[in-house]
Structure 1
Amino acid sequence: MRTLLKYFCFLVLIAMMCDCSGSKNRETLQRELQSIDLMRGEVTLCGSGADEFGKVEFAQSCLEKVRADFNLATALLHSFEYPEAEKVFVKVIDEDPNCLMAYWGVAMSNFHPLWAPPSKEELEKGTRIIGLARSLESKSQKESDYLEAVAVMFTDWDKIDHTTRLQKFENATEKIYQKYPDDKEAAIFYALALRAASSPEDKSFAKQRKAGEILNALFSAEPDHPGIAHYLIHTFDYPELAELALPAARKYASIAAASAHAQHMPSHIFTRLGLWDESIQSNSKMISAAQCYAESSGIKGHWDEELHGIDYIVYAYLQQGRDSIAGDQVAYMSTISEVFPINNKEAYSFAAVPARYALERRSWKEAAALQLRPANFPWDNYPWERSIISFGRALGAVHTRDLNSARAALAELKANHATLLEKGKTYQARQVQVQMLASEAWIQFLQGNKKEAVRLMTEAAEREDATEKDSVTPGEVVPARELLGDLYLEIGEPTKALEAYEADLKTHRRRFNGLYGAGLAASKSGDTKKAITYYQELIETAKLSEGRAELETARSFLRKHM
Structure 2
Amino acid sequence: MKNTRILSRLVLCVFLLGVGGACRDKKTPPAARQEVETIGLIAGQRLMCGAPEQQFGTVRFPVACRAELQADFALGLKLLHSFEYEEAEKVFAAILRQQPDCAMAYWGVAMSSFHPLWTPPSEPELRKGAKALAAARALAQPSPREADYLATVAAFYQDWPTVDHHTRCRRFEDASAALAGKYPHDTEAATFYALALTAAADPADTTFAKQKKAGAILKALYPKNPDHPGIVHYIIHAYDAPPLAHLALLAARRYAAVAPSSAHALHMPSHIFTRLGLWDECITSNAASAASARCYAQQTGIVGHWDEELHSVDYLMYAYLQKGDNQRAERQRRYLATITEVHPVTFKVAYAFAAIPARYVLENKRWAEAAALQSHPANFAWETFPWQRAIIHFTRLLGAVHTDNPSAAQAELRELERLHARLLQQKDQYKANQVYIQLTAGQAWLQWQAGHPTEAVQRMTLAADLEDQTEKHPVTPSEVVPARELLGDMLLQLKRPAAALAAYEADLQKHPNRLNGLYGAGVAAAQAGRATIARQYYSQLLASARPSGAPRPELAVAQRFLARQ
TM-score by length of 1: 0.94
Q: Give the secondary-structure state (helix, strand or coil) at the position aligned to 1:496.
A: helix
Question: 2:399 and 2:158 mapped to 1: Cα distance?
Answer: 46
Contact 1:29 1:132 in 2 (8 A): yes
2: CA distance, partners of 1:414 / 1:49: 50
Structure 1 position 235 matched with structure 2 position 238: yes
Decide which of 179, 193, 196 is 1:193's aligned counterpart: 196
Flag structure 1 segments of 5+ consecutive residues without an equivalent: 1-20
- Looking at structure 2, the residues matched to 163 and 229 of structure 1 have their Cα atoms a distance apart, in angstroms, of 25
CA distance in 2 between partners of 1:409 and 1:296 (Å): 42
What is the letter of the counterpart of residue 561 of structure 2? F
1:102 equivalenced with 2:105 (yes/no): yes
Asked if the contact 2:26–2:140 (Cα under 8 Å) also holds between the matched residues in 1, the reply is: no
Report the AA paired with residue 435 of structure 1: Q
Residues 48 and 285, structure 1, Cα contact 8 Å, conserved in 2:
no
Q: Distance in 2 between matches of 1:429 and 1:543?
A: 37
Equivalent residue of 1:557, what SS? helix
**Residue of structure 2 equivalent to 1:519:** 522
What are the superposed Cα offsets for residues 31-53 of structure 1, whole Å, 9 maximum, x if unpaired? 23223321122221112453101
AA of the residue aligned to 1:472: V
Partner of 1:444: 447
Tell me the residue number matched to 2:146: 143
CA offsets 1:341-365 (integer angstroms, 9 cap, x no match): 1111111111000100110111101
1:371 aligns with 2:369: no
Among residues 299, 303, 306, which one is paired with 1:303 in the alignment?
A: 306
1:383 alignment partner in structure 2: 386
Q: Check the 8 A contact 1:110/1:122 in 2, yes or no.
A: yes
Q: Would you say 1:410 and 2:416 are equivalent positions?
A: no
Cα deviation, 1:385-440, whole Å, max 9, x if unaligned, reads 11010110111110001101111111111111111111110011111111001000
Q: Report the counterpart of residue 355 of structure 2 in structure 1.
A: 352
SS in 1 for 2:156: coil
Uncovered stretches (5+) of structure 2, i.e. residues with no partner? 1-24
Counterpart amino acid of 2:553? A
Of 170, 180, 183, the residue aligned with 1:180 is 183
Structure 1 counterpart SS, 2:58: coil
1:59 correspondence with 2:101: no
Aligned to 2:552: 548
Residue 504 of structure 1 corresponds to 507
How far apart are the structure 2 equivalents of 1:117 and 1:160? 13
- Note the C-alpha offset of 1:543: 1.7
The answer to whether the 8 A contact 1:49-1:257 is kept is no
- Measured in 1, the distance between the counterparts of 2:454 and 2:184 equals 58
Cα distance in 1 between the residues matched to 2:221 and 2:213: 13
Match of 1:115 in 2: 118
CA contact (8 A) 1:48 1:289 kept: no
- Please, which moves more after superposition, 190-199 or 540-549? 540-549
Write the distance in 2 (CA, Å) between the matches of 1:32 and 1:100: 12
- Give the conservation status (yes or no) of the 8 Å contact 1:264–1:283: yes
Q: CA deviation at 1:22?
A: 11
Following superposition, the deviation at residue 471 of structure 1 comes to 0.5
User: CA, structure 1 residues 474+32, in 2 after alignment: closer, same or farther (shift >3 Å)?
Assistant: same
Alpha carbons 2:464, 2:484 under 8 Å: kept = yes
Superimposed CA distance per residue, residues 184-243 of structure 1 (whole angstroms, 9 cap, x where no aligned partner): 100000000000100111111110111011000010100000000000000000110000
Corresponding letter in the other structure for 1:290: A
1 CA distance for matches of 2:277 and 2:554?
A: 19
Alignment partner for residue 293 of structure 2, among 280, 285, 290?
A: 290
- Between stretches 131-140 and 418-427, larger displacement belongs to 131-140
Structure 2 counterpart SS, 1:110: helix
Contact 2:29/2:138 (<8 A) preserved: no
Q: Is the Cα–Cα contact under 8 Å of residues 50 and 257 in structure 1 kept in the other structure? A: no
1:220 partner SS: helix
2:407 is matched by which residue type in structure 1? Answer: N
1:305 Cα deviation from its structure 2 partner: 0.2
Aligned partner of 1:204 in structure 2 is: 207
Please report the RMSD computed on the Cα atoms of aligned residues, expressed in angstroms: 1.4
Residue of structure 2 aligned with 1:493, choices 493, 496, 514 = 496
Which residue number corresponds to residue 321 of structure 1?
A: 324
Greater shift, 328-337 or 216-225, is seen at 328-337
| CA offset digits 1:122-143 (Å, max 9, x no partner) | 1111111111111111312221
Aligned equivalent of 1:131, options 125, 129, 134: 134
Corresponding residue of 2:8: none
Residues 199-208 or 373-382, more deviating? 373-382
TM superposition shift of 1:64? 1.2
Which stretch has the larger CA shift, 285-294 or 319-328? 319-328
- Per the TM alignment, residue 508 of structure 1 is displaced from its structure 2 partner at its CA by 0.1
Letter aligned with residue 502 of structure 1: E
Which of 273, 276, 291 is matched with 1:273 structurally? 276
Give 1:377 shift. 1.7
Alpha-carbon contact 2:48-2:296 (below 8 Å) kept:
yes
- Correspondence list, 1:385-400, <5 A: 385-400=388-403
**Which of the numbers 211, 214, 219 marks the counterpart of 2:217?**
214
Aligned residues of 1:539 and 1:554 also touching (Cα < 8 A): yes
* Counterpart contact for 2:26–2:139, Cα < 8 Å: no
> Which amino acid is the alignment partner of residue 128 of structure 2?
K
CA deviations on 1:68-101 (whole Å, 9 max, x unpaired) are 1000100000000001100111111112211111
How far apart, CA to CA, are the structure 2 residues paired with 1:342 and 1:89? 25
Matched, 1:156 2:159: yes
Name the CA distance, whole Å, in 1 between partners of 2:296 and 2:27. 39
Asked if the contact 1:520–1:531 (Cα under 8 Å) also holds between the matched residues in 2, the reply is yes
**Partner residue of 1:560 out of 530, 548, 564:** 564
- Contact 1:170–1:194 (Cα < 8 Å) also in 2: yes
Q: What is residue 5 of structure 1 aligned with on the other side? A: none
Q: Which residue of 1 aligns with 2:19?
A: none
Structure 1, residues 504-538: CA drift from partner, whole Å, max 9, x if none? Answer: 00110000000000000000000000100111111
1:171 match: 174
Which of 442, 452, 474 is the matching residue for 1:471?
474
Please give the TM-score of this superposition, normalised by the length of structure 2.
0.94
> Residue 535 of structure 1 aligns with which residue?
538
Contact 1:98 1:138 in 2 (8 A): no
